[in-house]
Amino acid sequence: MAGGGTVRDALAARLRPWFFTGPALLWTAGFFVLPFAAMAIVSLWTLSGSGIDRSLSLANYSQFFTNRSYFQAMVNSLEVTAIVTVVSIILAYPLAWILSERVPERWQRLALILAVLPFWTSYVVRSYSWLLVLAEKGIVNNALVSLGLLSQPIQLANTRFATILGFVHFFVMLLTLTIYASLKQLPASYRRAAADLGANGLQIFIYVVLPLTLPGIVVGAFLTFVLSIGDYITPQILGGGNELLMPQLIMMQIGRRGDFPLASALSLVLMAVVTAAYLAAARWLKLERT
Amino acid sequence: MRKFGRAIAGIYALIIYGFIFLPVIVLVLFSFQGTLFPVPPFNGPSLRWYEAALGDARLTSALVNSLMVAIVSSMVAVLLGFLAAYGFARYRLPGAAFFRGLLTAPLSVSYLIIGMGLLLVFNGMGVPKSLSAAGIGHVVINLPLCFAITYSQMGEHQVNIERAARDLGAKDWQVLTHITAPMLWPALFASFFLSMTFSWDEFVIAFLLTRFDTTLPVEIWSLLRSGLSPKTNAVGSLVFGISVIMVLVLELAVLRRRAS
């Protein structure tokens, strides 16, 4: 009896940690890993006229590379994401710098909270708000016409410009946060040392501040890339149907045609691109650190 | 020259702040529009569109649904995240690094793909679309955050107190509820409110996984199909207001405390 007890105790001690980690792991396995595996399998099926053909084939993937409009959606997505990332960094860096250098210490926190407050509105509300701003009779067109800069309203909504603007608005806030954090981590003594050695303001920035805050920028750029390339709402509401980005193409397969196999394949292609970007960013950060 | 630089910096900050707040200001301003269209000229202020929005049963029930989904899914995410963080911080587990990686993996996958995967599985198992399905999806996206935040706050200094409690005869669950959780409450509170805001604002998972009873972002989405309307502004302003309150609670209760 006693011997059985110790074996059971030993087993219980072995299992105890899984009692704590188990629920979360099971949840992730059941509602994240399993759906993912299902998607991978379904992506190898094909939708035919009579229903879903469950024999495995790479038809959906080859369709992505051969059907010009599908491939174009990926090109559009990459272009928009690249422009958004670059423009957001260029706009956010000076703001982060002003916040960390020019604003008195005690006001910085408040200034930062204010700078990212609209960050917390949902994609839907934020995109709708930009639609209001950019509408044909909206506030921008209205102002430009009444100032005499335009003779009649121009189309701003339902364009690629609108999509980019909506994205840039969101990511300027996000990048201001990440760049501000990396500027704050930079010891002031580095800059003083550079100044003592005769560097002027511009030189200090180019040779000291910028290289040392670059990892923060890369992290922010990666976040921007991942979050914008996977977003459906912003291009759908602001860009309209004039050109499709990947998430719109994927949703179209689900919504209009119920073509889950193709939607799954397109999603996995999109994920592969994101993973490649992640590996590139991680590799770069690692090289930078050594 | 210095003064000049200062002026440039000030003007730049002003322009960017203007850009950041422009859509929010337009949204809120024209929610008080007295006439039919949320575009200039402004005729107001009037509360008629707030009355219209709050009198719309679909919208109010969507608002209640959103809050329910946000609260319940965040509670589940915090609970699972907390237990997992405790397990990983206090015990040596074979393959711990792999399993921790697994728990945070959903962070790098877009919501659209998570939602679609769940839709496939639920369809395959014959589970109908519902608020619970969306809630399950929201736990998937928030669990990694709750786990990472709580895990990062589980330090060595709490171990001794937990050990003392155990020596005095406390059982595992008593240690968790009386010692560990109270010591970690800022982290738990922060993860809860962060999860709440993310769930409250989330669209695409709820869009894919709900049908008739749905959440507020999805309901707003269907309002958009009928074009611009001050009523949508009113709902959007309310959503924004609630998000801001959640963020302020988080800021005041948690972050400020940590700073002091």
The residue that leads in pLDDT, A222 or B253, is A222
Chain B contacts of A17, Cβ < 8 Å?
Answer: 87, 90-93
Chain A residues 168-227 within an 8 A CB cutoff of chain B: 169, 172-173, 226-227
**Cα–Cα distance for residue pair A39/A248, rounded to 1 Å:** 18
Choose from A25, A44, A109, A128 for mutation: most chain B CBs within 10 A: A128
Calculate the dihedral angle through the C-alpha atoms of A22, A23, A25, A31, rounding to the nearest 10 degrees.
150
Q: Report helix, strand or coil for A47.
A: strand
pTM of the entire predicted model: 0.89
Query: What pLDDT, on a 0 to 100 scale, did the predictor assign at position B184?
Result: 86
ipTM entry: 0.89
- Lowest mean pLDDT across A36-45, A145-154, B33-42, B224-233: B33-42
Who among A91, A226, A251 is closest to B108 (CB)?
A: A226
The DSSP call for residue A46 is E
Query: What pLDDT, on a 0 to 100 scale, did the predictor assign at position B69?
Result: 96
Chain B contacts of A40, Cβ < 8 Å?
Answer: none
Give pLDDT tens digits along chain A (290 positions). 445 567 888 888 788 888 899 999 999 999 999 999 999 999 998 887 767 777 888 888 988 889 888 999 999 999 999 999 999 999 999 999 999 888 888 888 888 888 888 888 888 999 999 999 998 888 888 888 888 888 888 888 889 999 999 999 999 999 998 899 888 888 888 888 888 888 887 888 888 888 888 888 888 888 898 889 999 999 999 998 788 999 999 999 988 778 899 999 999 999 999 888 888 878 877 776 65
Chain B residues 148-187 within an 8 A CB cutoff of chain A: 172
Q: What is the CATH number of domain A68-289?
A: 1.10.3720.10
Q: Which domains does chain B have, with CATH numbers?
A: 58-259 (1.10.3720.10)
User: Measured in Å, how far apart are chain A's first and last C-alpha atoms?
Assistant: 58
Q: Which residues pair with A46 in a beta bridge?
A: A53
DSSP string, A137-198: TSHHHHHHHHTTS-SS----SSSHHHHHHHHHHHHHHHHHHHHHHHHHTS-HHHHHHHHHTT
- B119 with B208: CB under 8 angstroms? yes
**Residue B157 structure tokens:** 């200094």
How is chain A split into domains, by residue range?
A: 68-289
The residue that leads in pLDDT, B135 or A3, is B135
Who among A31, A172, A251 is closest to B136 (CB)?
A: A31
User: Measured in Å, how far apart are chain B's first and last C-alpha atoms?
Assistant: 38
Chain B contacts of A126, Cβ < 8 Å?
Answer: 23
Angle, helix A260-289 to helix A59-66, in steps of 10 degrees: 70
